[in-house]
Amino acid sequence: MPELPEVETVRRGLQPVMEGAQILKAEARRADLRFPFQKDFAARLQGQTVTGLARRAKYLMADLGSGDVLLMHLGMSGSFRVQRPDEARTPGEFHHPRGKDVAHDHVVFHMSSGADIVFNDPRRFGYMKIIARGAIDEEPLLRGLGPEPLGNAFDAAMLARSCAGKKTSLKAALLDQRVVAGLGNIYVCEALYRARLSPRRLAATLANRKREPTDHARHLVDAIHAVLNQAIEAGGSSLRDHRQTSGELGYFQHSFQVYDREGEPCGTPGCGGIVRRFTQNGRSTFWCPKCQK
């Protein structure tokens, strides 16, 4: 599933053709994706100007002139394709390939910017929903989300308080969207490796008895910031040079240090360990047992 850096890269790719432009026509080519579309979905979008395009966790949020917000989630296989008369491109690059079959083009926004924005989703786990801006804080899909990992509220002290007393593993805590929003399996594996912390370590060890952050918490927050910023930067660089609809493996997998590298030597100088994989909370975890403690 696309994680925060991929979604942020998509946002940046859509922003030039979507923000400030009017939705001349909206098409929902089927009745549902993961959830049914609202009955007036297309009608509420038609003629509206997109006044801003933001991201919250793994959600894209388009503010509309009507005061509504279009909430969009890529799901497992969703992607947006920007089509102009002279080109087509898919903003963002993903570790797992995106679909290219036009039979899975389920939503199309015809924009006054001259672009058609097409949402393609072979597995149909993505979804879109229109929400009144005044009701956004009560929206079940957003309510309870933790702080943004790149926001000012997310620091070692906040993470320590959230994990104090938790009996779950450190990896499970980081995947809990109530603790921190937007992190997924890939970047949790990478951040834990950079912080030299075992995914099996108890989350509670990030806090001392006074619920203050330990050095582990500080190192982990630094690692999360570093890996997310690097991934977003790589996505931006890739996006500037990307002109054709691709769906091929993308930018950041070239920088993976443990994810999907089972059986390869650990990259830590002098470690000599081998990257291992095990199943944790139903997902593959990649780590170096020798240097991650």
Q: What letter does residue 225 receive in the DSSP assignment?
A: H
Pick the catalytic residue from 11, 12, 55, 58. 58
Measured over the CA atoms of residue 202, residue 204, residue 207 and residue 208, the dihedral's sign is negative
> Which runs of consecutive H residues, i.e. helices, occur in 63-123?
none
Residue 290 among the catalytic residues: no
At a CB cut-off of 8 Å and minimum separation 6, what does 203 contact? 163, 166, 167, 168, 169, 170, 172, 173
**Block residue for tokens 């950079």:** 194
Residue 3 among the catalytic residues: yes
End-to-end Cα spacing for the chain: 27
Residue 58 among the catalytic residues: yes
**The two three-digit tokens of residue 225, written as one number:** 């910031």
Residue type, 141: L
Pick the catalytic residue from 2, 5, 149, 199. 2
Residue 2 among the catalytic residues: yes
**Cβ 9 vs Cβ 93: under 8 Å:** yes
CB under 8 Å, gap of 24 or more: what pairs does 257-263 form?
257/190, 257/193, 257/194, 258/189, 258/190, 258/193, 258/286, 258/287, 258/288, 259/185, 259/186, 259/189, 259/190, 259/286, 260/95, 260/286, 261/286, 262/286
* Nearest CA among 64, 43, 55, 69 for reference residue 130: 69
Pick the catalytic residue from 129, 161, 277, 283. 283
Residues with catalytic function: 2-3, 58, 283
